[in-house]
């Protein structure tokens, strides 16, 4: 690991200052469960690490007028203990899938959202797109864990966040904090002005065309401070992850759903698939098809067929189509309490 300067800001504004200094390559540290691995492997070699853990506002979970606001440093373990989040079952399902008490205790929701891909080409130094001399290694090599949707361009990795599909199905927004700009929204924090903007989570992730583009809209000097969830009223939710191992493992595929069922018919539905594309993959067609219909084995199965109908597997990952199809069907049935163990 290369030497680096370690800073511990105590306010958001101070963090923005540490992150924004010209000519300094910075990295954000939250729980550190992944950043430390990236630094050890020299996949990240910042000259300054900005540890967010001394900023009290980033630990808060508060009720706002129309929803719940969660600080980016809230750990997985604290999330499930918070009574304000009782109605958000799909999030609990995600925490339950992370089968390590240590990771639940130190991993944060912000760190999960910003987790870089687990693609083995990226993790072995071939960049986000996994290219060697301009040739795509996932295209020509072992691509069994790669994308089956959204893989037409250069990016073949899958988004690593476990929470993003569930949060996106809920219609979550993320608050991004950075240097104040003349045109953007500005806030005062400890005597300084910072830029702060709420963005729908579905606009947070990008499918990069080049290695330098990154896989989120976060610019250098910016960080995620909070997420906002709408009220859980009338909504049933669930996440179904397909894991290869019983222990700590990344899902092969996942599906999260939020449903509003009235008088036995689906009134509103949102279905998002995870670990199948460079971004969490929303299936609007399947959600639309369910509206006005009863939800049962047959309709859940049909909706799952629609959800995977546009999949384009690579040479070694056709199996993921069936896996995510099953995840969608089971997440739908789980949300209404009809999934038999």
Ligand X SMILES: Cc1cc2nc3c(=O)[nH]c(=O)nc-3n(C[C@H](O)[C@H](O)[C@H](O)COP(=O)(O)OP(=O)(O)OC[C@H]3O[C@@H](n4cnc5c(N)ncnc54)[C@H](O)[C@@H]3O)c2cc1C
Residues in the site for ligand X, rule: CB under 6 A? 27-35, 52, 72, 98, 103, 106-108, 110-112, 114-116, 162, 218, 223-224, 248-250
Smallest separation (angstroms) from ligand X to the CB of 181: 18
**To the nearest whole angstrom, how small is the minimum distance from the Cβ of residue 112 to ligand X?**
4
Judged by beta carbon, residue 120 or residue 250, the one nearer ligand X is: 250
Q: What is the DSSP letter of 244?
A: S
Q: Rank residues 78 and 303 by Cβ distance to ligand X and give the closer one.
A: 78
**CB-based contacts of 226: which residues, under 8 Å, 6+ apart?**
58, 69, 70, 71, 72, 174, 175
Residue closer to ligand X, measured from CB, 241 or 283 = 241
For residue 137, count other CB atoms closer than 10 A to its CB: 20
Nearer of residues 92 and 289 to ligand X, judged by Cβ: 92
CB-wise, 224 or 304, nearer to ligand X? 224
Angle at 327 between CA 325 and CA 328, to 5 degrees: 65
Looking at beta carbons only, is 70 or 261 nearer to ligand X?
70
**Smallest distance from ligand X to CB 275, Å:** 10
Q: 141: phi > 0 → left, psi -120 to 50 → alpha, else beta; which?
A: beta
In whole angstroms, how close is the CB of 20 to ligand X at the nearest point?
14
User: Nearest distance from residue 46's CB to ligand X, in Å?
Assistant: 9
Q: Between 91 and 269, name the residue whose CB sits nearer to ligand X.
A: 91
E strands in the chain: 5-7, 26-29, 48-51, 61-64, 67-71, 131-132, 135-136, 173-179, 186-189, 192-200, 223-230, 236-242, 253-262, 265-274, 281-282
Note the Cα 64 to chain centre separation in Å.
22
- The answer to whether the CB of 70 falls within 8 A of the CB of 229 is yes
Residue closer to ligand X, measured from CB, 252 or 286:
252
Q: Provide the minimum distance between the beta carbon of 15 and ligand X in the complex, in angstroms, as a whole number.
A: 9
**Joined tokens for residue 44:** 């990240």
> Other CB atoms closer than 10 Å to residue 54's CB: what's the count?
14
- Cβ at position 110, least distance to ligand X in Å: 3
Map residue 330 onto helix, strand or coil.
Answer: helix
Least gap, CB of 296 to ligand X (angstroms): 32
Nearer to ligand X, 203 or 265 (CB): 203
**Nearest-CB residue for ligand X:** 111
What is the DSSP secondary-structure string of 158-211? ----SSHHHHHHHT-EEEEEEE--SSS-EEEETTEEEEEEEEEGGGTB---SSG
Q: How far is the CB of 291 from ligand X (least distance, A)?
A: 32
Euclidean distance between CA atoms 328 and 38, whole angstroms: 32
């Amino acid at each position: 690991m290369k030497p680096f300067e370690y800073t511990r800001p105590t306010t958001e504004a101070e963090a923005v200052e540490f992150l924004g200094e010209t000519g300094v390559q910075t990295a954000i540290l939250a729980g550190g469960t992944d950043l430390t691995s990236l630094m050890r492997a020299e996949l990240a070699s910042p000259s300054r690490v900005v540890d967010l853990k001394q900023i009290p506002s980033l630990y808060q979970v508060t009720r706002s007028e129309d929803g719940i606001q969660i600080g980016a440093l809230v750990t997985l373990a604290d999330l499930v203990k918070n009574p304000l989040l009782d109605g958000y079952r799909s999030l609990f399902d995600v925490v339950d899938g992370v089968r390590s008490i240590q990771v639940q205790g130190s991993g944060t929701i912000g760190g999960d959202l910003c987790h870089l891909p687990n693609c083995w080409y990226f993790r072995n130094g071939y960049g986000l797109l996994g290219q060697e001399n301009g040739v795509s290694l996932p295209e020509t090599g072992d691509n069994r864990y790669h994308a089956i949707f959204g893989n037409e361009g250069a990016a073949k990795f899958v988004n690593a966040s476990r929470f993003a599909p569930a949060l996106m199905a809920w219609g979550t927004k993320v608050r991004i904090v950075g240097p104040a700009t003349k045109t953007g929204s500005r806030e005062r924090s400890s005597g300084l002005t910072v830029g702060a903007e709420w963005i729908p989570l579905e606009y947070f992730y990008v499918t990069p065309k080049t290695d330098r583009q990154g896989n989120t809209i976060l610019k250098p000097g910016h960080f995620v401070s909070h997420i906002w969830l709408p009220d859980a009223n009338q909504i049933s939710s669930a996440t179904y992850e397909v894991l290869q191992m019983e222990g700590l493992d990344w899902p092969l595929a996942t599906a999260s759903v939020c449903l509003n069922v009235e008088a036995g018919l689906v009134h509103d539905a949102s279905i998002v698939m995870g670990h199948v594309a460079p971004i969490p993959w929303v299936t609007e067609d399947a959600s639309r098809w369910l509206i006005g219909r009863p939800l049962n084995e047959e309709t859940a199965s049909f909706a799952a067929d629609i959800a995977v109908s546009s999949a384009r597997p690579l040479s070694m990952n056709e199996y993921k189509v069936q896996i995510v199809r099953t995840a969608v069907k089971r997440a739908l049935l789980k949300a209404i309490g009809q999934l038999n163990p």
